Structures are given as structure tokens and as C-alpha cells.
Structure 1
Amino acid sequence: MTQEETVLERLFQTLDDKTKSLNKENGQSLIENLGLAMEDVYTNQRDLLEQATLQDRRKAFQFTYLSLLQQEDIQANHQITPDSIGLILGFLAQRFLKNKDEMHVADIASGAGHLSASIHEVMMESTLMHHLVEVDPVLSRVSVHLANFLEIPFDVYPQDAIMPLPFEEADVVVGDLPIGYYPIDERSQQMTLGFKEGHSYSHHLLIEQAVAALRPSGFAFLIVPTHIFEGDKVKQLQNFIATETEMQAFLNLPKTLFKNEKARKSILILQKKETNVTRPVEVLLANIPDFKNPQQFQAFLQDLNSWMEQNHSEL
């Protein structure tokens, strides 16, 4: 067993045990107590924490979270973004923004903060300031504890991400967008992608919010349903994307990450238009191969690199 595995395992075991003992004491949910357990380690077990790398810490959080999910009935929006998706999204953001040393990264509907943590891990060489927006009070609190535990900067805004956002001019917006209907018609009808009648799609409104939060020529990297451009109501979305952004890429995530084709997701990459600057590109459409297949993954990276050279030679 390597030294690193030992630290990771010890950290995981410590978080897992502390979460369960707190749960017996206070009766709050396991997820809520995981936040308190991270705070306890951060405050009282500095020796253990300081032996752990950022990756050790993030993985210990992820493993504990996943182990708690098996013991507690968890609502769908409490699932965390798998690190395989977070790391590829971070890699793509790094590729598109490699000339920027400092960035404001907004994460809309950020959940427990695991997607932002995974991106931070990939982009360690840049200085990132993270802005997380999450309406669920339990998850927004967990993300504050996670930021302390990882010792990385998260500003957490505990609010509905479809309501007006408290910041603008982000260099990058990311999001693993929740799918479904948005119940507040009064708000959605103020928005371009709101429907005239009935509840609007929350994932459409979040795409509009992502674009609104970007500075001109900033990039959005959004995890969306693979079938988002099918079915009715799609014209409105396509028109918005064509008017406000230059669509860069639509990359289907590996099938192996999802239960079935219906649940499959893709990464939508948009660049906000800047007056007289942003130029159209040929949209990159591709399947991201299974990460366990290095040859296919290498071929995907070559395609991405040649697309970048043709469409973003300045990056």
C-alpha cells in the first residue's frame, strides 16, 4: 500500500466515522453532518489534513458522500457530479482559457460544490475565484465546509440560480444543469427562454443565466441532456444560442457513465458574443470516448487540438 493511499483511506475513514457519530448525536441528515465532519477535521485534525494532497481531500469527500448516499434516501438533486465528468470539463476549460492566469469561475446550481472542486484540481496553475450559486440550504452549507476542507476559495450564494444573479462578468460559467420544469412563472416570463404559457424548462433558463453572467467573449461549459436539441420548444433555445453566443462544441459524454441513453448527458460549450470581435466557428461535434480506452481518448484529444488550431489559433 502506498503512502498516498494510506492518507486517503485514513481521511475517508475519519470523515465517514465522524459523520455517523454526529448523525447519532443530532439526528440531522448524513449529508449535513458530512459538512460538520469536514469542519471538525479542518479544525481539530490538522496533522492528518496537512499530509493530504488536494486530490486526497477531494476524493475522501467524494467517497464519503457516495458511501452516505447508499445509506440514506437521497433526492435526485443531491447527487454529486462524478469526478470523471468534472475533470474532463476542467480540462476543456483549461484548453480554451490557457492564456488566462486569473479567472472568475461561476458554478450555477452548484450542489455540494464537487464540480467546482474537480475543476479547481485540474486548473491548479491558474488563480481561480469560484462563485457558487445553490438554492438548497443543506448543499450550500456543505459547499462552504468543502471549501474550508480543501482550502480553496469558494464564494457561496445560497439562492435560486434562475433569479437575478449577484455578480456578472465571470470569465467562465460551469454547471451541471438540473433538468425539469421551473415553478415560478412570473420569473421565467421575464426571460427570453421562458414559455408564454405553463412552466418553462429550468435547464433552458439556466443556459440563459449562464450567458447573462459571462463577460463578453467569456465561455460557458454546461452539462446538459444529450437530447436537448430535440423535441418541441427547441427553436426558441436555438435562436437564443445563435443570437447571444457562438456555439463552440457539443460533446457527448461516454455512454458508460449513464444508466441508459435517455439519461445520457453532453457538454455544451458556448462563447458569449462580443461586439465586432467574436467570430463564428465550425461547431465541434464529437463523442468523448470512455476514459478507460487510452487510444480512443488520444484520438479525441488530437481532433480537439486540430479543431482548436483551426478555430482558435489565438488561444
Structure 2
Amino acid sequence: MEKTDVELLFEQIDNITETVQHYENETYLDSLVLTLEIMFYQNPLDGIDEQLKEKLQSLINDFNVKEYETTQIRKALQLAILKGMKGATQQQHLMTPETVALFVGYLAGKLTGGKEKIRMFDPASGTGNLLMAVWEQLENVGAVYASEVDTTLIKLAVMNANLQKREVEFFHQDSLRPFLLDPVDLVISDLPVGYYPDDISANDYELKADEGYSYSHHLFIEQSINYTVPGGYLIFVIPEFLFDSDQSDKLHAYLQEKAHIVGVLQLPETAFKSEKNRKSILILQKKGSNTSAVRQPLLVQVPSFKNTKAMNDILAQMNSWFSTNINL
């Protein structure tokens, strides 16, 4: 069977990465960062082993990444990153599944379609794949911002953006600390799940725990709302248990005060590796002087993405809901 352009590009990226990994004795992901820099500048970087330099020169002479389309580059990089993350135990090192990222993009388009030059922000951007996948589906993006605390992940995100010729302003920081950022029209994020160890910073949040560590996923919601314009939208990929945890009463009360719940979409179990990783999508609108609650929030049980007929039925129902409930 003939290989697709995405598969061919992935093989070339993988080949260079494994060569770098062999010589530099680094992890696959750190070697991938170097590979993407070499591909972007189209020559081996200074300060690396001469033998490696020669080998890399012959490898990059064989192809030019700029001949590929943006989507092909993103998908090939996604395959390489997934390979590097295989066996990663940290939840924040798991990538948002492609089908879920495309679904978030669809929702973002429905919520912001009538607006011009929106400003978009992902406060937990990881390698930037969710951000790029959503951006591909929007035609009205003005400025894009992303934040990530992990050094390797943000380097991958920067190279991801560069190779796709996307202009993103990155913040390399703890995303629960203050930003030098004006509020945006749209926040999208696959929420990092767990406890936030910095009690001093957590103290500034309404959603801090009454005792013990606060939940970082709760604080991320509050932080995101803080950096959203009144009337702006937020689309979160959330853990299934978000509203069932021991601190969920506080979260409910906070959301009731600050936002309108536009919808909750339960994603199919088949989109995730195991039931405990299962996620939903939460859509919020930040309250403002001209906003009002939707009459009937969008509550959807999303079928398996492989079930085309059921998927088309759900999309038709959702399109109808958006045309009735969201005034653009």
C-alpha cells in the first residue's frame, strides 16, 4: 500500500530524530526538538559532533519540509511526539487525541464564526497540537497566545508553530501565575489534572482548597475566566469527574457567579486509552452586561467517532442547536 505524505514526512522526521538520539544520548522528545530546529533552518546546527553533522546533512538534503502542507506537517509532528510520549506516565504529557482536537475546533468555529480577528489563548498548550488543530479550522484568528511550563514541551510547540508558519506568542511560565496579557475572545485548553503544589500562588484564587492542596484543573478554569473578555467563550477538555469531586460544590458556585454554562459534551470512551482517562468538553461563556444564559444548554453524548451515521446525526442536531441558541 502506498504511503501517505504524512507517513513519509513522519518517517523522515523519525529517521533524523533517531540519528540525533543515537549520537547525543538524549530522550526521543529532546532529540526531536533538535531535529525540528535542523529541519526549520535546513542545516545542522553548530556545536554538534562532526560525524553527526555529516550524517544529518545527507538526511536533510533528501527532502524539504516546506514542500508539505501545514496540516501534513502538524499530523507528522503529532505522530513523532506521540512516539516520544509512549510510556509517559505523567498525565500532562499525554496529547489531546486528534478527533477531540477537531471537535474542539468545530465548536470554536460555531461560537466565534460571526466575529472578526479573534484573540485565542491556550494556557496549558503542551506541544501546541490542540491549538494548531483548532486554528486550522478557524478563518477569523487575529492573535494567538499559549503558555506552558515544561521546557521540552514548549520548545516542541515553538518549532511546531515555526514549521507551520504560524505566529504564536508563547509564555514559558507557570500558567497559574499572572500573565502580561490582555483578555482574549476565546480560551481553549485540555486541562491539566491534579494538585497544584504552590499554596502561596493558590491563595490568590477563589477556587483554592479550604484545606490541603488545591486542584490545578479548578484553578486553570478560574485563571482562564480571568483572561477572557466579558462575553468571550471558553472550551475546556475536562476530566469526566470534574463535577463529582470533593471540591465540586465550590466550582459550581463559582461558575454560576462568573459564567454561563453553554454546554457539556460527553466524549466517547473509544477516543481514550482507558475509561479512567475519559474526558468531556465543557463550554462556558464569561458573563458580561450583554450576555444571558442559553435557554437549554447543549448536552450531548457524542457517539464513537468511527460511527459515521450517528456522528452525522449528532452534528445535524448540534448545528440546529447553535443556529437557535447562539446569536452571532
**TM beyond 0.5:** yes
| Contact map agreement 1:106 1:170 (CA 8 A) in 2 | yes
Give the Cα separation in 2 of the matches to 1:35 and 1:86: 22
| Contact map agreement 2:91 2:192 (CA 8 A) in 1 | no
| Contact map agreement 1:252 1:286 (CA 8 A) in 2 | yes
Residue matched to 1:291? 305
| 1:27 maps onto 2:20 in alignment | no
| Contact map agreement 1:35 1:141 (CA 8 A) in 2 | yes
Residue matched to 1:233? 247
Give the Cα separation in 1 of the matches to 2:178 and 2:140: 28
Which of 57, 61, 65 is equivalent to 2:73? 57
Give the Cα separation in 1 of the matches to 2:39 and 2:89: 24
Q: 1:84 to 1:231 in 2, by over 3 A?
A: same
Q: CA deviation at 1:86?
A: 0.7
Farther off after superposition, 180-189 or 5-14:
5-14
User: Cα RMSD (Å) of the superposition?
Assistant: 1.8
Which of 119, 122, 133 is equivalent to 1:104? 119
Residue matched to 1:36? 34
Q: CA deviation at 1:204?
A: 0.3
| 1:162 maps onto 2:160 in alignment | no
Farther off after superposition, 86-95 or 226-235:
226-235
SS in 2 for 1:67: helix
Farther off after superposition, 35-44 or 84-93:
35-44
Provide structure 1 residue ranges, at least 5 long, that are not aligned to the other structure.
none
Residue matched to 1:308? 322
Give the Cα separation in 2 of the matches to 1:246 and 1:14: 47
What's the CA shift string for 1:125-182, capped at 9, x where partnerless? 2234221110111111111111111111121101111111221311110111111110
The 5 Å alignment of 1:1-315 reads 5-44=3-42, 48-70=64-86, 73=88, 75-123=90-138, 125-275=139-289, 277-281=290-294, 282-312=296-326, 314-315=327-328
The letter for the 2-side match of 1:53 is E
Give the Cα separation in 1 of the matches to 2:168 and 2:80: 21
Q: CA deviation at 1:9?
A: 2.8
Q: CA deviation at 1:69?
A: 2.9
SS in 2 for 1:229: helix
The letter for the 2-side match of 1:207 is I
Give the Cα separation in 2 of the matches to 1:211 and 1:145: 28
The letter for the 1-side match of 2:191 is L
Residue matched to 2:55? none
What's the CA shift string for 1:108-136, capped at 9, x where partnerless? 1111111111112222x223422111011
Farther off after superposition, 78-87 or 6-15:
6-15
Give the Cα separation in 2 of the matches to 1:8 and 1:280: 43
The letter for the 1-side match of 2:227 is A
Farther off after superposition, 302-311 or 208-217:
302-311
Q: What is the TM-score of this pair, normalised by structure 2?
A: 0.89
Q: What is the TM-score of this pair, normalised by structure 1?
A: 0.93
Give the Cα separation in 1 of the matches to 2:7 and 2:264: 37
| Contact map agreement 1:39 1:149 (CA 8 A) in 2 | no
Provide structure 2 residue ranges, at least 5 long, that are not aligned to the other structure.
43-59
